[in-house]
Amino acid sequence: MRLLRRLAAWIDALNDRIGTALRWLVLVMVLTGAASAVARYFSRDFGLSLNLTPATEAQWYLFSIVFLLGSAYGLRHGVHVRVDVLYERLHARTRAWIDLVGTVLLLIPFSVLMLWVSFPAVLNSWQIRETSPDPGGLARYPIKALILVCFGLLILQACSQVVKQVDVIRGGADSPGHPPAEPEPHV
């Protein structure tokens, strides 16, 4: 179990580093959108016709990166959507059982299915070096590859969550002498 805990800690640290980097991408995304809006506004005043397709698509791609790579980070910190009318009132072990069953029966199979279904489309996109059909558009194949990375990270984080949930169920996280489980922030 000690090896699994170390592996879970490594996965958590990986997704935390990715989450930290994504914070900066959000800033870049906002600045890209603002710069596009300002350029569009002032180009009309000067009678210029600017092709803002690359900037617009870059903003979409940045949002996609944040969304796709941030999903495992969100799972790690418990900020994903959860209907917790009763959940918060339950004992830690009961919550761990609910999370364990949901992770093993829903999250992991869904993520594996998404990898299986997405792989042919991503492979095709790389083989043809897919680009945007819009004039000046960006390459699409790199962003499509992040779909696979997203679900790979989700599977890794799900495995980390399973280790932590089993630890709670076995009494490791809540028993005396052990540090309390991290509080889960809720949005």
Give residue-wise pLDDT tens across range 142-155.
999 999 999 999 99
pLDDT at 138 over 60: yes
- Of the candidates 165, 181, 23, 174, which has an alpha carbon nearest to the alpha carbon of residue 107? 165
How far apart (Å, rounded) are the C-alpha atoms in residues 85 and 98?
Answer: 14
Q: What is the pLDDT at residue 173? A: 62
Q: What is the pLDDT at residue 41? A: 83
How far apart (Å, rounded) are the C-alpha atoms in residues 139 and 131?
Answer: 4
Residues 6+ apart with CB under 8 A from 82: 186
Longest CA–CA separation in the chain, Å: 72
Domain boundaries, the chain: 2-169
- What percent of the chain is modeled with pLDDT above 90? 70
pLDDT at 68 over 80: yes
Give residue-wise pLDDT tens across range 166-178.
999 998 665 333 3
